[in-house]
């Protein structure tokens, strides 16, 4: 594999986007290890995936900043990025920042207003013109970096969900809404996905914003011959749930209640303080357990914004279950992690695997990437162990040994 790969991120200067770029460039220069990347495991070597060093980056961002300033801010607030590392690649980060373009803001209340400090294209500027601008930005990036293949990754903040009655049924209806500028039923993520597919880009929806890959957008992706996958990256509490819940199933222990509480800071937490945006996230996080256990149970996911935590997050879960002779017992766990450190390598993994799918001429939902998502497309299996083995079995058909 020798061709460079373009990686275009939506929400480029968020914690995940910045950490991904810093990590990729630091790995390319031998400054950090590849810990956290699944695709650098020995089993994946036969796939001849694009090297991390051959990735070039750009993207859309609603804030006025650059990768160096964003990385330094992360270093100051959470310490998850090492100062010596980001200083060593400062010129690289500033150069990559030249490829950034103003993003399209979402109607998400005051939280977005507070963080969008530079002029951006609003949704009421005309949906067709926004799509054309996004396409032009992607084309400019393709020319700047001399790349043929580009993978677009949605890392933007969570959007409010669309009501079922507002779901867009078919392509003709979508085109009419775009012509009419109907912002009540068209989310920004749909505009990015539309532009990406039209420009021949693979697409990864790492957010809970399901509008990005709603049925009409998925149909469009397939018509354009592009692979895509989503929704909502599985990095923390839900990752633990999907690994732990099967234990109760395998031992025939009945889970009665699973109560979860999450605290997080940073801009994601700020956005999720808005009830409409929070609804998308809770639905995504709360859908895993019943899918694994196969029966209804009491579940609750609480999410609170705690400003002082910055990019660190804490989750506490209480599990009430019944065992032999109907005796009730309980288990608790606390998960503390850095969201961007957990998520960034997953994005790099999926970018490499999406490029492989593009190279092989695959199109449609990449359901084999289910272990990376809370709400994976075309996959009813939420058990992390089964998801992972299914993924490895899939890659066994294209050169990777079965796990």
The more confident residue out of 256 and 403 is 256
CATH topology of domain 5-233+341-396: Rossmann fold (3.40.50)
Exposed e or buried b per residue across 4-23, where buried means at least 16 C-beta atoms within 10 angstroms of its C-beta: bbbbbbbbbbbbbbbbbbbb
Residue 305, CA distances (Å) to 5, 84, 314, 327 in order: 36, 30, 11, 37
DSSP string, 276-333: HHHHHHHHHHTTHHHHHH-S--EEEEEEEE-GGGTTEEEEEEEEEEE-GGG-EEEEEE
At 106 the three-state DSSP class reads: coil
- Please report the pLDDT score of residue 105 as a whole number: 64
Residue whose entry in the numeric block shows the structure tokens 């606390």: 334
Lowest mean pLDDT of 76-80, 322-326, 365-369, name the range.
76-80
**Per-domain residue ranges of the chain:** 5-233+341-396, 237-338
Note the helical H segments in 67-126.
67-77, 83-88, 90-97, 110-115
What is d(CA 112, CA 123) in angstroms, rounded to the nearest whole number?
A: 13
Mean pLDDT across the stretch 41-52? Answer: 93
Q: Quote the CA–CA distance of 206 and 108 in Å, as a whole number.
A: 18
Is residue 239's pLDDT more than 90?
yes
pLDDT at 285 over 90: no
> SS3 for 215?
helix
- What is the pLDDT at residue 114? 40
Taking residues 133-155, report their average pLDDT: 97
Q: What percent of the chain has pLDDT over 70?
A: 87
Residues 80-107 have a mean pLDDT of: 91
Rounded to whole angstroms, the Cα distance separating 205 from 25 reads 23
Which residue would you say has higher pLDDT here, 118 or 137?
137
Enumerate residues 6+ apart whose C-beta is below 8 A from 29. 88, 89
Q: Which of 7-16, 149-158, 163-172, 189-198 has the lowest mean pLDDT?
A: 163-172
pLDDT at 365 over 90: yes
Residue 7 has a pLDDT of 98
The pLDDT tens digits for 330-345 are: 999 998 889 999 999 9
Comparing CA positions, the residue from 326, 332, 331 lying closest to residue 254 is 326
Predicted confidence at residue 162, as pLDDT, reads 76
Contact in structure between 215 and 314 (CB atoms under 8 Å): no
Tokens of 223: 């018509």
Distance, in Å, from the CA atom of 253 to the CA atom of 246, rounded to the nearest integer, reads 10
The mean-pLDDT minimum among 34-48, 73-87, 269-283, 305-319 falls in 269-283
Q: Residue 47 forms beta bridges with which residues?
A: none
- Phi, then psi, of 147 in degrees rounded to 5: -115, 145
Lowest mean pLDDT among 263-272, 296-305, 356-365: 263-272
Residue 269: the pLDDT is 53
> With contact defined as beta carbons under 8 Å apart, do 195 and 134 qualify?
yes
Confidence class for position 307, pLDDT limits 50, 70, 90: confident
Instruction: Look over the chain and give the mean of its residue pLDDT values, rounded to a whole number.
Output: 88
User: According to the model, what pLDDT value does residue 115 have?
Assistant: 38
The residue whose two tokens read 């999720």 is 272
Alpha helices in 169-227 (DSSP H): 171-180, 188-198, 215-223
- Distance from C-alpha of 127 to C-alpha of 192, rounded to nearest angstrom: 11
Where does the pLDDT of residue 268 fall: very low under 50, low under 70, confident under 90, or very high at 90 and above?
Answer: low
CATH superfamily to which 237-338 belongs: Dihydrodipicolinate Reductase; domain 2 (3.30.360.10)
């Amino acid at each position: 594999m020798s061709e460079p790969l373009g990686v275009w991120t939506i929400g480029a200067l968020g914690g995940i986007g910045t950490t991904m770029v810093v990590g990729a460039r630091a790995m390319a220069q031998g400054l950090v290890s590849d810990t956290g990347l699944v695709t650098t495991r020995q089993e994946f070597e036969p796939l001849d995936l694009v090297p991390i060093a051959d990735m070039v980056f750009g993207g859309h961002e609603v804030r006025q900043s650059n990768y160096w300033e964003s990385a330094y801010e992360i270093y100051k607030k959470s310490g998850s990025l090492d100062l010596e590392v980001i200083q060593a690649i400062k010129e690289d980060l500033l150069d990559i920042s030249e490829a950034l373009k103003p993003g399209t803001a979402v109607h998400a209340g005051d939280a977005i207003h507070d963080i969008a400090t530079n002029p951006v294209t609003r949704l009421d500027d005309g949906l067709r013109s926004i799509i054309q601008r996004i396409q032009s930005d992607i084309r400019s990036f393709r020319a700047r970096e001399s790349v043929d293949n580009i993978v677009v990754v949605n890392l933007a903040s969570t959007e409010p969900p669309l009501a079922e009655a507002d779901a867009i049924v078919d392509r003709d209806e979508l085109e009419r809404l775009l012509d009419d500028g109907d912002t009540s039923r068209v989310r920004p993520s749909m505009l990015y996905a539309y532009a990406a597919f039209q420009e021949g880009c693979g697409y990864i929806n790492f957010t809970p914003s399901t509008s990005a890959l709603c049925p009409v957008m998925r149909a469009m992706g397939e018509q354009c011959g592009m692979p895509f996958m989503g929704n909502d990256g599985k990095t923390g509490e839900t990752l633990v749930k999907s690994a732990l819940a099967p234990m109760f199933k395998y031992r025939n222990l009945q889970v009665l209640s699973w109560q979860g509480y999450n605290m997080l800071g940073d801009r994601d937490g700020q956005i999720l303080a808005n009830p409409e945006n929070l609804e998308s996230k809770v639905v995504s996080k709360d859908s895993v357990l019943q899918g694994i256990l196969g029966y209804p149970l009491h579940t609750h996911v609480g999410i609170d914004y705690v400003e002082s935590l910055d990019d660190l997050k804490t989750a506490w879960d209480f599990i009430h279950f019944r065992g032999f002779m109907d005796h009730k017992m309980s288990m608790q766990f606390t998960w503390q992690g850095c969201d961007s450190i957990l998520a960034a390598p997953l994005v790099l993994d999926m970018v490499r695997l999406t490029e492989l799918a593009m190279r092989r001429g695959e199109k449609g939902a990449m359901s084999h990437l289910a272990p990376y998502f809370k709400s994976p497309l075309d996959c009813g299996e939420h058990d992390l162990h089964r998801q992972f083995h299914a993924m490895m079995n899939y890659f066994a058909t294209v050169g990777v040994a079965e796990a």
